[in-house]
Amino acid sequence: MDLQKEIDGLRRELEYHNRLYYVEDAPVISDFDYDMLMQRLIKLEEEHPELITPDSPTQRVGGAALSQFTQVRHQVPLESLSDVFSYDELRAFTERMDASISSAHTYCVEPKIDGLSMSLEYENGVFVRGATRGDGVVGEDVTENLRTVRSLPLRIVNAPERLIVRGEVYMSKSVFNELNAEREINGEQLLANPRNAAAGSIRQLDPKVAALRKLDIVCFNMQYTSGEEYPNHSDTLDALKAMGFPVVPYKLYNNIEGCCERIDWIGENRGDFAYDIDGAVIKINSLKQRQELGSTAKAPRWAVAYKYPPEKKESRVVDIVVQVGRTGVLTPKAVIEPVRLAGTTVTNATLHNQDNIDRLDIRIGDTVLVQKAGEIIPEVLSVNKSKRPEGTEAFKMPEACPECGAPVVRDIDGAALRCTSPECPAQRLRNLAHFASREAMDIEGLGISVCESLINSGLVGSPAELYYLDAQSVASLDRMGKKSAENLIASINKSKQAGLARLLCAFGIRQVGQKAAKTLASHFKTLDELINADELELMAVNDIGSITAGFIKEWFGLPQSQHQIKLLREAGVSFESTETVKDTRFAGQTFVLTGELSRYKRDEASAIIESYGGKSSGSVSKKTSFVLAGENAGSKLQKAQTLGIKIISEDEFEEMIK
């Protein structure tokens, strides 16, 4: 077969299946078959890179990182809409339309997606540029990030010479929940809502990061076309759908009553949409009538957005339960009588922490006012104390973890209570994933999904139990064959010699991260020396203060920690430090690494700096001694230049370490 024909055929087939899967939700082949097609195309393009095109399905993984976004002036302005907040205001809008338009007119009603508005440009059917709305006139070029959105067609059929489409990039609720679950496991700050998550993802300078966020898009307007002229907005949506775009669902009505019924339906069913909805859009359908009506300086006259008010309803608190999250934080929740809010049935509402409970004075049996914060998380707003039954008691958080019975402590910098046990069942997944992570024991092949399988199968209950696994048991897990199991066991065994610094980091002791673990390992040399040190000896170590010293002694004093150490010792895990300082030429000096280094990985360069007694930091300040800058260095380099900090190249760095 001709090579070019095979590549073109694979691209057409993959885009066809992309459309069925991501746009029409009707796949006809398995994920495995799709992956085989993709792997074949990747192989051919790797062998013949001169045949790679920007619209190839292989380019959706993200290209090279950018140093900044360039500005784009929109050919057609991306206007915003005027908001209405009641049906009386909506009727006033339709009355204006009736007075302004002499002929018959219809309204198009669509859900208003709560995402990030984009302009999408196509030339001869090929996606060439995408830009954010910005101020409506000038936006930012985010083309490379948009290429990673799999529901966006990179090539369209039956296309005009030039086409501009307006769409809304969003993160689906399911992806948002998955991402937050993973961030919770990793101890990272949770994302506030899907819209903010989508906005942050599409503005990543590294498209590979955007690709991992699994964004989607839905299109709602044809901004410009050099081809066929369409009489109505609904005709343009149908044409876009035929070209392969995911388009917003719409309904047409001749009167205000029909519009209001549709708005009610969207509001009642918004929980069933894949994306968040913050309102409904009502538009004149005729494009000619729109042109006659025109726009004000701020918004078109022919459309408004009906914004749903935050829905608040009363319910009764049946119970208050305390859940332990994957990071050990105890969170109180009110179990309430079922109530319908923002399209979903709510049975629980967060109470956040003891301080919030005390502020509200909320008790079991109280009648409370509930709403969805940001249309996502149900929360209690207030207590109707006039309906409080007699005999209720103030609620207090437990002093011991409800999952494992270990003591709980209050965060020094907040109101959260946290379980102190390294063997707490609620924290198993997070603890196991952290123990195996790259900055800790660096166990290759032990990602989140494998950790979940090990825990769910009962093979592992705590990190130390990893060293008692065998290949035969691991091979019995789903999606884990004999070879993969053998590789995992080999990686686990290899980690026994990772050294004291990595082990201390893997323990997850509060305020003992990578840097503090290395400092402690360099000072004490063995785990037993560290365990036997008192708080004064710990505080004598550079950068270890009284609070961190207290956390260290507290952790080693727990029976659960002592059990873990016993298992690790018996398994043959090294408790000795591998940290060595060649000399102290960098003592008292702090380095910041930025950009792409050609000769070292970041962690390799940091290890070299530390081996000469120096420190590496992630941020530039007046205390920074040197900034080691590689290619495509960004804001850190600019800040260093502003502060007058010495900037060195890799050549200069190598001279310093000779």
CB count in 10 Å sphere of residue 570: 11
**Boundary-marking domain end, from 579, 599, 623:** 579
CATH label of the domain that carries residue 565: 1.10.150.20
Per the listing, tokens 């290759």 go with 444
Q: What is the pLDDT of residues 200-251, one digit of tens each?
A: 888 887 778 788 888 999 999 999 999 899 999 999 999 999 999 999 999 9
Compute the distance between CA of residue 297 and CA of residue 79 in angstroms, rounded to an integer.
9
Same domain, 199 and 125: yes
Which residues are the active-site residues? 112
Strand partners, 382: 369
Neighbour-count burial for 413-435, b at 16+ CB within 10 Å, e otherwise = eeebbbbbbbbbebbbbbbbbbb
382 three-state secondary structure: strand
Give the residue-averaged pLDDT of 610-627: 85
- Residues 549 and 530: their CA atoms lie apart, in Å, by 11
Cα separation of 346 and 86, whole Å? 25
Boundary of a domain, candidates 280, 307, 334: 307
Show the beta-strand stretches assigned E in 115-156. Answer: 116-123, 126-132, 138-140
Sequence-separated (6 or more) residues with CB below 8 Å from residue 292: 100, 101
Element (H, E) at 569: helix 559-571
In a domain, 394, yes or no: no
Q: Which two tokens stand for residue 198?
A: 């989508």
Per-residue pLDDT tens for 188-202? 777 777 888 888 888
Confidence band for 67, pLDDT divided at 50, 70 and 90: low
Which residues constitute the domain of residue 254? 73-307
Same domain (yes/no): 369, 269? no
**Closest alpha carbon to 276 in 150, 133, 378, 376:** 376
CA 93 to chain CA centroid, Å, is 39
Position 63 scores a pLDDT of 52
> What whole-number percentage of the chain has pLDDT above 70?
94
Question: Is the distance from CB of 155 to CB of 15 less than 8 angstroms?
Answer: yes
Q: How big is the chain by its Cα radius of gyration, in Å?
A: 29
Angle separating helix axes 500-507 and 559-571, nearest 10 degrees: 140
Model confidence over 286-310: pLDDT tens digits?
Answer: 999 999 999 987 789 999 999 887 7
Q: How many domains does the chain have?
A: 5
CATH at 600? 3.40.50.10190
Residue 533 lies in a domain: yes
Which 3 state secondary structure label does DSSP give 185?
helix
Q: Which residues pair with 126 in a beta bridge?
A: 123, 155
User: Amino acid letter at 314?
Assistant: E
Inside any domain, residue 469? yes
Give me the phi and psi of 383, to 5 degrees please.
-115, 130
Give me the pLDDT at residue 47, please.
82
**501: which 2 tokens?**
């610094």
Same-domain status, 28 and 91:
no
> For residue 388, is pLDDT > 70?
yes
Task: Please check whether residues 236 and 360 belong to one and the same domain.
Answer: no
